[in-house]
Chain A
Amino acid sequence: MKQYAYYPGCSLESLGKGYHVSALEVAGALGVELKEIEDWNCCGATAYFPVDELLAYTLTARNLAKAEKTGLDFVAPCSACYKNAYFTNSYLQKDADLAEHINYALEADNLHVSGTSKVRHLIEVFINDVGLEEIKNKVSNPLKGLRVAPYYGCQILRPRKDHEDVENPQFFEGLLSTIGAEPIDYASKTRCCGGSLIITNRKAALDMVRILLQDAVNHNADVISTTCPMCNVNLEVYQNQVNREFGTQYSIPVMYFTQLMGLALGIVPGQLGIGRNQVSGASMLAFAQNPKQERNL
């Protein structure tokens, strides 16, 4: 069993509940153990950097330190938490001064961070550690004919970490093909959904969401799939607000990639948090043909 130090992040316990339950279900089905980090704290998302940089890093570092204690890789399902953790980890490895400041603070909580825990996003743990071959073997219910718009969003890709392709990545499409779905190719897949602008500048965020929804609809997507609770909320929960603002009539379901994976692995939709959406996923559920397993968590 592959084990990981799991950092759900605040959203997964509230707005992103569906992500949380489906992630655990899928992990279980694929032989991955997500051990929740003990007494983790909020990473601050994008709200701390406008106030104090060092504090922002420190908040995340506390969680990294706890992960380091377990000796396992740090896995975040939320792209914003992932981005914060990845770069905090990377910077404190290269900048001894920063590490010193952070550790001075962590000392008050009896913690120390060295940057030894690798930071992963849940989707790439499945793709790289479990492997597409293995996933394909476990797919009992390929989502044939389901046209999925893979929505990467920004924080999972940017800032650039190494020399990877940030303009036209394909790893999400690869995963979707593996579970039998039909990923569509649309240009806005890495365009920002607005993130926290949904609160601080609603007009801007709704416009950004509208462009994404329109592009997905233009390409006849049946569902948009996300890797981040923030993106999911903006695209799904606020869809009817977009309709109000622009006079459009979007009604496209938005599912986390783990929910789609779960369906393909034959897990009951109810156990994946599907059915408790703002935009009904009913149209898409026809693709959940043989929900065989009823797993107990």
Chain B
Amino acid sequence: MSERIGVYVCHCGTNIAGIVDVADVSKWAGEKLADKGVVIARDYKFMCSSLGQELIQKDIKEQKLTRVVVAACSPHLHEKTFRNACKGAGLNPYLCELVSIREQDSWVHTDKVAATAKAKAIVSGGVARVIHHEALEPLRVPIHPDTLVVGGGIAGIQAALEIADAGFRVYLVEREPSIGGHMAQFDKTFPTLDCSACILTPKMVDVGNHPNITLLTWSEVQKVDGYVGNFAVTIKKKPRYIKTEDCTGCGICWEKCPKKVIDNVFEAGMGNRKAVYVPFPQAVPKYPVIDDVNCTYYLKGTCKACEKFCPTNAIDFNQKAEEITVQVGNIILATGYDLFDARRIPQYGYGKLANVFTNLEFERLCNAAGPTGGNIVLRDGKTAPKTVGIVHCVGSRDKNYNAYCSAICCMQSLKFAHLVRERTGAEVYNFYIDIRTPSKGYEEFYQRLLEEGTRFVRGKVAEVTSVARIPEEEGKLIIQVEDTLIGKQRRIPVDMVVLSSGMQSRHDSKDVAKLFGISCSADNWFIERHPKLDPVATMTDGIYIAGCVQGPKDIPASVVQGAAAAARVLGKIQQKEIALEPVRATINQDQCSGCRICNNLCPFNAILFHEDKMVSEVNPALCQGCGTCVAGCPAGAISGTGFSNEQILSQIDGLLLLNISHAAVPVE
């Protein structure tokens, strides 16, 4: 028995009808494709409108249609619309096919005769294919109500708090001994000049105290199995060598510890910590860790001062790493950024010329809890600079390093200029290419800096050198730059140079992305599902991203993304189950030879191999229906639901029905 097919050709105003003779196409379909099963063919101005949809629904009921073909715009736009329309009329939505005669035809051709012929061919292809469609039901999988948040910076903290406040459990995993991320290192935040720690620590304390948040610091994710709604994550808790159930955070251990180590993480190399330490006083959790690389006990077997003095006997040198596995329904990745290494630009002198600082080093200088007690001084620890030069765009907007703009450095540089003038009264120069101050209060902040008397020089710094040419330059750092607004090369002597180094993705981004089954961009930022309309979801269901891991951004934007990701997760948890698109690949196990070529081809790690039966199987929840395995299988044992060989070959036959030859179609 042949199917009863309805064909609907859309005018799309003049978008399609301006080039394609839609009336002709629908008439042709009704007549020439009748033997294929077409019982009704219509054309209409806007098929996607409610009236257009109702037209289809009416026909489904009255004409008892079993298949629908809509010839209109790209499926990216309205496939869902028409599928829902069919569903509303009682026809399985997957028995509806949308073929594009706009993006693929009217928008790319100017020859009306040829375009109309092509539209007929496209419709014919659609008709031939839809006959082989099957009624499909979306897959429903339950959603585990727990969530994993990876990364304890401001974005991760925000996400965790929102989900926990809504009454659901969160595992917050952080690789450092304390949460807080980069924000904990800053002194003041722009444009309000709030003390960074003062606005961050209340949130950190909330996280630490929250009954719904299981805080796993000094830990890293090792393995991720499963799929949306049902992840099994293995987390390694690195040994702190502290028994947290006994530790009170009193601090005697690090006070008594004789081993000083340069703190390259929190203090950006500007200050020291001990071998047993908390990264900063407001650390959450309050428990210290022992750095077993530098601790004297691990190096030589002696000391143990901490153990001697600990009043609650909380030191345990033999503590082992622990691996736990948690079940979660969704994962939010908020692992932050690394700083661009300014040593890659030798002409700026960082690492060679003592008084050249990076932005992170400068933050620590300004911070009252930092190595200089908040005094802005040179490397000698005591001299205050009389002139400071702040260099924008270090390693950013530069094809030799990172081509992108790091978004926050202009505001950060302005903030530095303000702090220098406020605290030292020194002369400040800012060297910039453009001043980027887009958000709320940012331009006003720039105005404030102008009023304060900061000297702005428009020019990307060419060199920072100590080679003096005139007596005034002796003993100074000379910034050589073209002042482009006056067109002169200038050499400006300063005492201190601050480099606004850009943001970079974490050095292990690629590995982390692979672990979670998501992708990285060319600059190794994690890729969002849609750059405009879906910035926190990824192409992998159940995995979300938030904060700088998705690209450079300021604190408000990170908070927004953390909250957005949390909202998405809460929405999923609320629904208790998720419906997955049934467009998936399936492996015919009788035909599978067990060669496993498909296993490695799958970009979503969705194919399992059964050792006992020596056959592969596709996990329908992870499969995204991309078709790579279908094409790759040498035995042709894999079929794509919604992309079966039958469907595709029939569509090709349908397309070629018309046999449009070049001779028949006049050239433009």
Q: Please give the residue numbers on chain A whose beta carbons come within 8 Å of chain B beta carbons, in ascending order.
A: 165, 167-168, 186-188, 211, 214-215, 218
Set of chain A residues within 8 Å of B588, measured between Cβ atoms: none
| CA distance in complex: A218, B345 (Å) | 24
| CA distance in complex: A186, B465 (Å) | 10
Is the CB–CB distance between A187 and B346 below 8 Å? Answer: no
Closest residue to B464 on the A side, CB-wise?
A187
Is the CB–CB distance between A167 and B466 below 8 Å? Answer: no
| CA distance in complex: A215, B345 (Å) | 21
Set of chain A residues within 8 Å of B467, measured between Cβ atoms: 186-188, 215, 218
Among A167, A168, A187, A215: residue with most chain B CB under 10 A: A187
| CA distance in complex: A188, B469 (Å) | 12
Tell which of B346, B465, B466, B469 touches A168, judged by Cβ atoms closer than 8 Å. Answer: B346
Is the CB–CB distance between B469 and A165 below 8 Å? Answer: no
**B347 is an interface residue with CB less than 8 A from chain A:** yes
CB distance from A154 to the nearest CB of B (A): 14
Is the CB–CB distance between A165 and B346 below 8 Å? Answer: yes
| CA distance in complex: A132, B152 (Å) | 50
Set of chain B residues within 8 Å of A188, measured between Cβ atoms: 467
Closest residue to A165 on the B side, CB-wise?
B346
CB distance from A255 to the nearest CB of B (A): 23
CB distance from B152 to the nearest CB of A (A): 36
Chain B 455-510 residues near chain A, CB threshold 8 A: 465-467, 469
Set of chain B residues within 8 Å of A165, measured between Cβ atoms: 346
CB distance from A60 to the nearest CB of B (A): 27
Give B435-466 as 1s and 0s: 1 = Cβ < 8 Å from A's Cβ atoms: 00000000000000000000000000000011
Is the CB–CB distance between B346 and A211 below 8 Å? Answer: no
8 further A-B pairs in the complex, CB-CB below 8 A; given A168-B346, A187-B467, A218-B467: A165-B346, A167-B345, A167-B346, A186-B467, A187-B466, A188-B467, A214-B469, A215-B467
Closest residue to B343 on the A side, CB-wise?
A168
Set of chain B residues within 8 Å of A215, measured between Cβ atoms: 467
Set of chain A residues within 8 Å of B469, measured between Cβ atoms: 211, 214
Interface size on B, residues (CB 8 A): 7
| CA distance in complex: A214, B467 (Å) | 10
Set of chain B residues within 8 Å of A187, measured between Cβ atoms: 465-467
Set of chain B residues within 8 Å of A186, measured between Cβ atoms: 467
- What are 6 A-B contacts with C-beta separation under 8 Å? A167-B345, A168-B346, A186-B467, A187-B467, A188-B467, A215-B467
| CA distance in complex: A135, B569 (Å) | 67
| CA distance in complex: A167, B348 (Å) | 10
Set of chain A residues within 8 Å of B465, measured between Cβ atoms: 187
CB distance from B478 to the nearest CB of A (A): 10
| CA distance in complex: A85, B528 (Å) | 47
CB distance from A130 to the nearest CB of B (A): 28
Set of chain A residues within 8 Å of B345, measured between Cβ atoms: 167
| CA distance in complex: A214, B470 (Å) | 11
Set of chain B residues within 8 Å of A168, measured between Cβ atoms: 346
Closest residue to A186 on the B side, CB-wise?
B467
Query: Which 9 pairs across A and B sit closest by C-beta, in order of nearness?
Result: A167-B346, A168-B346, A187-B467, A167-B347, A187-B465, A215-B467, A188-B467, A211-B469, A165-B346
CB distance from B226 to the nearest CB of A (A): 41
Give B332-347 as 1s and 0s: 1 = Cβ < 8 Å from A's Cβ atoms: 0000000000000111
CB distance from A149 to the nearest CB of B (A): 13
Set of chain B residues within 8 Å of A211, measured between Cβ atoms: 469
Closest residue to B466 on the A side, CB-wise?
A187
CB distance from A274 to the nearest CB of B (A): 29
Among B465, B467, B469: residue with most chain A CB under 10 A: B467
CB distance from B185 to the nearest CB of A (A): 29
CB distance from A33 to the nearest CB of B (A): 37
| CA distance in complex: A65, B132 (Å) | 65
| CA distance in complex: A126, B137 (Å) | 73
CB distance from A233 to the nearest CB of B (A): 23
| CA distance in complex: A214, B466 (Å) | 13
Set of chain B residues within 8 Å of A214, measured between Cβ atoms: 469
| CA distance in complex: A201, B330 (Å) | 69
Closest residue to B353 on the A side, CB-wise?
A187
| CA distance in complex: A149, B92 (Å) | 82
| CA distance in complex: A78, B345 (Å) | 28
| CA distance in complex: A76, B354 (Å) | 39
| CA distance in complex: A214, B469 (Å) | 8
Closest residue to B468 on the A side, CB-wise?
A218
CB distance from A168 to the nearest CB of B (A): 4
| CA distance in complex: A167, B465 (Å) | 13
Give B573-610 as 1s and 0s: 1 = Cβ < 8 Å from A's Cβ atoms: 00000000000000000000000000000000000000
| CA distance in complex: A168, B466 (Å) | 15
Closest residue to A167 on the B side, CB-wise?
B346
| CA distance in complex: A168, B465 (Å) | 13
| CA distance in complex: A218, B466 (Å) | 12
| CA distance in complex: A187, B346 (Å) | 10
| CA distance in complex: A113, B439 (Å) | 59
| CA distance in complex: A79, B347 (Å) | 22
